[in-house]
Structure 1
Amino acid sequence: MDTANLRLIFVLTDLIAPLAVGYFLHQRHLVSGEAINKLIRFNVVCIYTVLALLSFWVLPISWSLLTVPIFGFLLILVPGAIGTVAFARHFKSWLDRGAYIASAMLANIGTLGGVCAFILYDEQGFAYTQLIGTCQNILLVLVIFPMAQYCYMKHTHAVRKTDRLHSFCDMFFSLNQLSLIGMAAGLLFNACGIERPPALAPVFQGLVHIAAWIAMLPVGFLIDFQQVRRYAHRVRSLTALRFLITPVLFGVLIYLFVDEPVTQGTLVICSFCPTAINAVLTSRLYHLTTDLAVASFVITTGLFLPILFPALFFLLR
């Protein structure tokens, strides 16, 4: 069995298993919400910074690398525009619209896409997903948060009085963006011809598994199947947007403008990625319909993990 086939088991051990454990911990009240929040922050600040450094240190620098951030921005903006124009406007409630648009724009690329790309393409695929995830984080602050605030204001017919400069600094210049320094340092070592010590390769692989567990366990902790069933009919169009419209559109663009096979395959995986947990967090932060975002996350993830990614695995390997 080749390495990629062997790594396919990570779908069960690194993605499905921590979801199940997180759900069990919540049902049994074994872990507090505060502990889960600390776990998420540790993963974002510490683990992902080290992973960014190690993966970008050995990332092949080529012209195809420049296409990754371009597609990274388009993978968020285009589904968001289609979702807004074609589907979200049919919701009467602005709170539903905001949650729907956030779910359309935010895909689980950094965590879920990262593990899936690692399974197929090892460290190079993982590094590409982190670069796209960075594009998503930038648009989260510059586009998605303002959109969510606008929808809340339309619902309440009020303007929230906040210190906009302070708010922007808190969201963009924070420890949550520390992985950007890891990326920059890795690229610098790479460009200077400093070879990464071979002993760090198993460290990287071990950290990928740890990061996946720490990222997916809190997601399982947040799942409420009763609310998922209640909002399931409202996210049918989101499922079509995630797994039909976006992959078909970007599949054409990827094979027209990207030649390098690993970059092609990684971008295809990203075009299929389900709704991100950040859509749920955005909805909570701006008092939108959080349960709609949760339903989108659970349903699209439930389709992607056992069905779509195994199919992609055999098509792309």
Structure 2
Amino acid sequence: MNQAFLFTFGIIITGFILGLFFQRYFNQFASKLSLAATKIALMSLIPFSVFISLWQLEQMRMELFYLPVIGASVILSGALVGKIVSAKLSLTDKQAAAIVPVASMYNLGALGNLIVFSILGEDGVAVLALFKLFEELIYFGGIFPYAKSKSQDAEMRATQNKRVWKDPIFLIALTAVSSGLLLNLAGIERPQFLYSFTYWMIPLGTFLLVFSVGLTFNLKGGKIWRNLAIATALGRNIAAVTVVIVLLTVFGLWQVDDRLVSSVCLILAVMPTAFMSTLPSVLYDLDNDVANTGWIASYGVSAAVIPLMLLYVTVLG
């Protein structure tokens, strides 16, 4: 567990520092390079790794189809925490719309994928794919439109929201999940040569996403928004873990696949915010200082919480 944990955060730290380096010394290429790295990860490496993991998942049972409900509930609990914190602190619309994506978007596809794969193997990745089945639908169909509605740009508010079913990232993710499930249920055996792909695609996809964040990241107003950011990060973790515990109990999933399902859900509940959670603030002219401070605080809190959760699921659970 320790080696996997160090490997995971080694990739994250290396990618982020390298992104910051390129931002400082090759700033004229930073935006284009960040966009390219993000597209490669989200539109090829990560979806394909999900596809081949679902294809080989053994013992596909109806109980596993409760997982998308748990995943959606975790995401929505984060959004609720963001709204509650915003209301308690009387944030402006631009500030609230910046912190809600940070609270609601979970790093499931990159960091979650890598940690679950490192700790629980390919079967864990397949369970994760079901957990995050509704992720893109909620993000692109709910969170992004909400942030856009709070934009101070009248023209931006007036434009019609992009339909979620036309978004290429959503379509590719949906295709990867559905194709993997269909091949699995059809009983078609996965070619052996695909087995090795997972071992480099998941770490590389994570590296590219962290690298893209480093290329555009800046941290201002940390002292001003520090308490807000820490409260949001702690609140979303507590809410998510509570939701997972309740739903695992309600659906009777604690012992499924030798606790594989419950372990994946608990690990994902303490993931930090997604790498793209600051994107709505950039796109819709919201409060970037709030979003960036919330982003970095989320990783600080998760750096302390994730090892405790991994210890629980691998030793104590």
TM-score range, shorter chain: 0.7 to 0.9
Q: Is the 8 A contact 2:219 2:289 kept in 1?
A: no
Cα gap change, 1:229 to 1:108, in 2 (>3 Å): farther
Alignment of 1:55-66 (within 5 A): 55-60=53-58, 61-66=60-65
- Write the letter of the residue equivalent to 1:264: S
Within the candidate set 288, 297, 311, 1:299 is matched to 297
1: distance between equivalents of 2:7 and 2:246?
29
Determine whether 1:175 maps to 2:163.
Answer: no
Aligned to 2:15: 18
Within the candidate set 218, 233, 245, 2:239 is matched to 245
2: distance between equivalents of 1:228 and 1:190?
47
- Write the letter of the residue equivalent to 2:289: D
Q: Is the 8 A contact 1:228 1:298 kept in 2?
A: no
User: 5+ residue gaps in structure 2?
Assistant: none
Which is further off, 117-126 or 129-138? 129-138
Aligned to 2:206: 212
Aligned to 2:227: 233
Aligned to 1:8: 5
Q: Is the 8 A contact 2:4 2:118 kept in 1?
A: yes
- Write the letter of the residue equivalent to 1:8: F
Query: What value does the CA root-mean-square deviation take over the aligned residues?
Result: 2.3
Q: Is the 8 A contact 2:210 2:275 kept in 1?
A: no
Determine whether 1:121 maps to 2:114.
Answer: no
1: distance between equivalents of 2:282 and 2:46?
24
Cα gap change, 1:51 to 1:285, in 2 (>3 Å): same
Cα gap change, 1:220 to 1:303, in 2 (>3 Å): farther
- Write the letter of the residue equivalent to 2:67: V
Within the candidate set 264, 267, 276, 1:266 is matched to 264
Q: Is the 8 A contact 1:219 1:277 kept in 2?
A: yes
Within the candidate set 156, 161, 164, 2:158 is matched to 161
Q: Is the 8 A contact 2:108 2:268 kept in 1?
A: yes
Determine whether 1:189 maps to 2:186.
Answer: no
Determine whether 1:74 maps to 2:70.
Answer: no
Aligned to 1:222: 216
Q: Is the 8 A contact 1:109 1:132 kept in 2?
A: no
Q: Is the 8 A contact 2:81 2:236 kept in 1?
A: no
Q: Is the 8 A contact 1:19 1:220 kept in 2?
A: yes
User: 5+ residue gaps in structure 1?
Assistant: none
Within the candidate set 310, 313, 317, 2:310 is matched to 313
Normalising by structure 1, what TM-score?
0.88
Within the candidate set 243, 248, 252, 1:254 is matched to 248
Identity percentage of aligned residues: 20
Q: 1:297 deviation in Å?
A: 1.2
Cα gap change, 1:251 to 1:92, in 2 (>3 Å): same
Q: 1:156 deviation in Å?
A: 6.6
1: distance between equivalents of 2:222 and 2:192?
46
Q: Deviations over 1:206-253 (max 9, x none)?
A: 111111111111122233234444432321320221233332343343
Aligned to 2:104: 105
Normalising by structure 2, what TM-score?
0.88
Determine whether 1:202 maps to 2:196.
Answer: yes
Q: Secondary structure at the match of 2:182?
A: helix
Aligned to 1:137: 136
1: distance between equivalents of 2:134 and 2:24?
35
Q: Is the 8 A contact 1:227 1:291 kept in 2?
A: yes
Q: Is the 8 A contact 1:255 1:264 kept in 2?
A: no
2: distance between equivalents of 1:27 and 1:138?
35
Q: Deviations over 1:45-102 (max 9, x none)?
A: 1212321221110123112311110011101112212331x32113341101111222
Q: Is the 8 A contact 2:229 2:298 kept in 1?
A: no
- Write the letter of the residue equivalent to 1:190: N
Aligned to 1:29: 26
Q: Secondary structure at the match of 2:57?
A: coil
Cα gap change, 1:249 to 1:42, in 2 (>3 Å): closer
1: distance between equivalents of 2:289 and 2:126?
32
Aligned to 2:282: 284
Q: Deviations over 1:111-140 (max 9, x none)?
A: 111111112211122223333334121011
